[in-house]
Amino acid sequence: MPMIVRLSQCKICIYPGDHMPPHFHVRGPGWTAAIELGSFRVLKGRGPKSALEEAITWAESPDNQDRLAHAWRRLNERD
């Protein structure tokens, strides 16, 4: 699982060969959540509110949105 970034409360990963819609995983000790790219809504899982807010705030930056979208395409190319 390629880690994109480690934040103070969690890490953000994108899994290769993952299902649609495009999303990233936020992981912390004993918890995980999947966040949709673009809408930044939680698709699955749960975690501490402060950690999820930290991850979403990081992901909302235009540069980081581009970084996540590029990683998603690279790891999840479809024929």
CA 62, 63, 64, 69 torsion-angle sign: positive
Torsion of the alpha carbons at 50, 51, 53 and 54, rounded to the nearest 10: 110
CA 35, 67, 11, 48 torsion-angle sign: negative
pLDDT, tens digit, for every residue of 18-70?
A: 999 999 999 999 999 999 999 999 999 999 999 999 999 999 999 999 999 99
- What confidence tier does 1 reach under pLDDT thresholds 50, 70, 90? low
Answer yes or no: are the C-beta atoms of 51 and 11 closer than 8 Å. Answer: no
Backbone angles phi, psi at 48, to 5 degrees: -60, 135
Q: Is the pTM of this model over 0.85?
A: yes
Among 2, 51, 10, smallest CA distance to 28 is for 10
